[in-house]
Amino acid sequence: MASTEQPATTALAGLPRRNYEPETRGPLAGVRMLDLSRLVSGAQLGLVLGDLGADVVKVERPGAGDPFRHTTVDGYDAYWRAYARNKRSITLDYARPEGRELLFRLVETADILAENFTPGVLERLVGGPEALLERNPKLVIVRISGWGQTGPRAAQPGFGTVAEAFSGFTYLNGEPGGRPVQAPMSLADTVAGTYAASAALAALWEARVNGGAGQVVDVSLFEPLFSIMGADPTAYAARGRLRGRGDGAGVSSVRGAFQTGDEHWVAISAATDETAARFFTAISREDLLDDPRFATHELRVAHRSELNEVLAGEFRRFTRAEIVELAREHRLTIGPVHDMVDALADEHYRERETIVEMEDGVVLQNAVPRLSSTPAVIRRPAPGLGEHNAEVYGELGIGAAELERLAEDGVV
């Protein structure tokens, strides 16, 4: 079984290699986003739009930059490289009057502006959405915050860990009877950033196609995560039923992760009567179909713990490779539980180029989803701090001498 730390050489060997494609036009070509955000939620929003071809201009603090530049894994700025691809970087201190005016001039050229300050900070820095919309009435302003722009918690700072707990997700995650377990990644931020991307495009369509005005998009960290919890609130309101902690407790069976005889893990989802019957037959346990505890989905859910004990023993009879092959032969909904080493080496990942090695040696998840005519691609690597100052400010008619003065004054 793979350890948590090991040389990556073997897993990386033979990864699909790709060049950056700065000239490839994406479906959002011509859309410009000014990104005033920091960390994951705003970075995810910009990543989605940038991969699809938008011109994402990252506005960073002079001399410091985004915190991701300094968030390293053993000294390697992996987070910055992963999240800042397909973006241009400029530096600007818009807390200064001269910097604020430069921001307003940039706003006049933009379609979308994104920020994830605590509510009230944008108002203090630049006058809030009203001041921005005065300079560009068609502007879409995306505001991501822990708790949203309204409500009793609005003014409180919020990070994803707390938002995940507040949403109810953390309560459900973990072993039945055990402690709540936090997600091992920035789940709330990533979901919020992805929701924000779709909302930004909807608001942009309203402004650019339907002839409407610009507007503010209010996205909290907790509500998108709450919204993907499916029918839980509806079921509770109608039947008073609360889902318990665990991998689908009280909802479905056969479902979950099971250990194989070679101490790997596989996951199965065979909750319908048809898929469960096919699985029981494939492992030569047709007798389970006649067991009064397991004959229907409802009965399997009611006796889930007992069935899981039986299945734990059955999975132990196979290696992971044998189970995966059995699933292929019988069209079973079973798959390996991958760690990153497994994912990097998996032939399906490689065939679809889900993970690629770029021309500079940086390994990245490829752009998703796949568009047939105007594909999302990785056009440019993560930029250096202020790398595009001359380029972007030059578009405003600011020449080299003026840019040098602004830099000396600490404005850019």
Q: How far is CA 339 from CA 3, 256, 265, 344, 377, in A?
A: 9, 17, 10, 9, 25
HEC profile of the chain: CCCCCCCCHHHHCCCCEECCCCCCCCCCCCCEEEECCCHHHHHHHHHHHHHCCCEEEEEECCCCCCHHHHCCECCECHHHHHHCCCEEEEECCCCCHHHHHHHHHHHCCCCEEEECCCCCHHHHHHCHHHHHHHHCCCCEEEEEECCCCCCCCCCCCCCHHHHHHHHCHHHHCCCCCCCCCCCCCCHHHHHHHHHHHHHHHHHHHHHHCCCCCCEEEEEECHHHHHHCCCCHHHHHHHHCCCCCCCCCCCCCCCEEEEECCCCCEEEEECCCHHHHHHHHHHCCCCHHHHCCCCCCHHHHHHCHHHHHHHHHHHHCCCCHHHHHHHHHHHCCCEEECCCHHHHHHCHHHHHCCCEEEECCCCEEECCCCCCCCCCCCCCCCCCCCCCCHHHHHHCCCCCHHHHHHHHHCCCC
Residue 360 annotated as catalytic: no
Annotated active-site residue in 55, 93, 189, 218: 189
Q: Is the separation of the CB atoms in 98 and 409 below 8 Å? A: yes
Residues catalogued as catalytic: 189
